[in-house]
Amino acid sequence: MDRERFYGLDHLRAIAILLVLLYHYRMFEHPAWVDTIGWVGWTGVDLFFVLSGFLISWQLFREIREHQNIKLRTFITKRFFRIIPPYAFTLLLYFCLPFFRERASLPPLWKFISFTQNYGLDVFNYGTFSHAWSLCIEEQFYLFLPLVLLFLLIAKAINYIRVIIPLLIIISIILRYFSWTEDVFPDINTNDFWRTWYMKIYYPTHTRLDGLAIGVLIGYLFSFSQKFKAAVDSYGNPLLLTGMLAVVLSLWFCKDQVSENTSFFGFTLIAVSYGILLLGSISKSSVLSRQKYRITSQLAALSYSVYLSHKGIIHMVQWLLKKENIPTSGNVALFICFTACIITGLFYRLVIEKPSDQVKNLILHHKKQLQ
């Protein structure tokens, strides 16, 4: 594990995108076994949240520790060129190429551009590119976290992070409780139940703070507590085993995804479980952090572009398979669809992400020269 990269996290990111692919593949024709195990895939997004919360906050906390400041323009430049070009290209496909759409109706373009699509998202009537809801939450997180940290830094209150984070999680649980009682429960015996549950509990940022918050808390402790870091580095494999057990128990608790208990506490349990797993993956003594593996590192590198494009690609591939009278509900079709998703991810990386990264480096180099 070097100073800039936690190789163990590549394994978790690869797991997260596979979970998402399996979960979303259920909306297309699929083998029966996908239903049996694919339901756990909804937690793949929560794993992404924990990973993002840790990685982004760890970078910012390291800058605070070393320079007592955050270079906001540099941070925004890096995030812009990492996120926006692939996202803009995917929006272009969805809005200009109807064949790419896995469903008929798109939310308004302004909601995608403003990263507010996750609020008021009617997934049943406007479900095309619905998976961008999680990107909206991440972008809001990228905007507010550095501003909050700068405020705390100016106020000399950065240590209050350890109080703020648990408070945010408690607030999120309370807000889910009120959303359930006021909005979801009245629709529990109606056809609108699922639509309301997604709209009021699953998609909004204020009800989904758990994963990002856990990641930020780990990032803070790992950056500023030597005792915490030493303990993590010493007990990597036990943390991995504990994390895996916690994930299994959390999934058992959350088996009914839309139940009252899951809606209140399930997201928190999943986030904490993945947080423990993350601790195991960043530990120097962990089996996951000792070596970089090409398969998981490549899948991790492609995860963002695959996430953006996978529904449209699966939709088009299955349409083409049907046209050639090839069954789309079997394992062969699944393999072809997932392979097409990986190939598309490679296309994104070569044609969009690498040129974008080069432009980003030129801009940052120019800024450095001017300083």
Once rounded to an integer, what is the mean pLDDT over residues 36-59? 96
Within a domain: 199: yes
DSSP state, residue 155 = T
| Residue range 150-174: mean pLDDT, rounded | 95
Residue 3 has pLDDT above 80, yes or no: no
Does some domain include residue 142?
yes
When divided into structural domains, the chain yields a total of 1
Q: How far is residue 307's CA from residue 314's CA, in Å, rounded to a whole number? A: 12
Encoding tokens for residue 89?
A: 């290209």
Q: Is residue 2 a part of any domain in this protein?
A: no
Q: CB neighbours of 123 closer than 8 A, spacing ≥ 6?
A: 130, 195, 198, 199, 203
CA distances from 167 to 162, 199, 225, 324 (A): 9, 24, 20, 55
Provide the pLDDT for residue 24: 97
How many Å apart are CA 31 and CA 36, to the nearest integer? 10
The identity of residue 266, as a single letter, is G
For the cut 70, the answer to whether the pLDDT of residue 284 exceeds it is yes
Average pLDDT, rounded, for the chain: 94
Are the C-beta atoms of residues 52 and 212 closer than 8 Å to each other?
A: yes
Q: Higher model confidence: residue 6 or residue 60?
A: 60
| 3 occurs within a structural domain | no
- Cα separations (Å) of 323 from 29, 103, 315, 330, 346? 14, 18, 12, 16, 26
pLDDT of residue 1: 40
Return all residues near 309 (Cβ < 8 A) that are at least 6 apart: 90, 93, 341, 344, 345, 348
Pick from 2, 17, 3: nearest CA to 300:
17
Per residue in 260-274, pLDDT (tens digit) is: 999 999 999 999 999
* pLDDT at 2 > cutoff 50: no
**Maximal C-alpha separation, the chain:** 66
Mean per-residue pLDDT for 39-46? Answer: 96
Query: Is 160 domain-assigned?
Result: yes
What pLDDT was estimated at residue 370?
66
3 by Cβ neighbours in 10 Å (0-12 / 13-18 / 19+) ranks as exposed
C-alpha span between 306 and 342 (Å, rounded): 7
Q: How far apart are CA 303 and CA 292, in angstroms?
A: 16
**Boundaries of domain holding 97:** 8-370
Flag the least confident range among 5-9, 119-123, 281-285, 295-299.
Answer: 5-9
Residue 153 lies in a domain: yes
What pLDDT is recorded for position 294? 87
**45 Cβ contact list (under 8 Å, min separation 6):** 16, 20, 134
Q: What is the mean pLDDT of residues 205-215?
A: 97
User: Which two tokens mark 193?
Assistant: 């139940």
pLDDT at 366: 78
Q: Buried b / exposed e across 243-271, counting CB within 10 Å, b at 16+?
A: beebbeebbebbeeebebebbbbbbbbbb
Helices (H), the chain: 8-25, 32-38, 43-67, 72-96, 109-113, 133-154, 161-179, 193-197, 210-224, 226-234, 236-253, 260-261, 267-282, 294-323, 331-348, 354-370
Task: Look at residue 1 and tell me if it is in a domain.
Answer: no
pLDDT tens for residues 66-104? 989 999 999 999 999 999 999 999 999 999 999 999 988
- 124 vs 207: which has the higher pLDDT: 207
Give residue 320's region: left, alpha or beta (phi > 0; psi -120 to 50).
Answer: alpha
pLDDT tens by residue, 328-365: 999 999 999 999 999 999 999 999 999 999 999 999 88
Residue 348 lies in a domain: yes
Q: How confident is the model at residue 308 (pLDDT cuts 50, 70, 90)?
A: very high
Distances (CA, A) of 236 to 233, 282, 332, 343: 6, 8, 38, 34
Contact assessment for residue 129 and residue 94, using Cβ atoms and an 8 Å cutoff? yes
Q: Are 358 and 323 in contact (CB under 8 A)?
A: no
> Percent of the chain at pLDDT above 90?
92
Q: Give the model's confidence band at 371: pLDDT under 50 very low, under 70 low, under 90 confident, else very high.
A: low
Q: What is the pLDDT of residues 100-112, one digit of tens each?
A: 999 888 999 999 9
Answer whether 310's CB lies under 8 Å from 16's CB.
no
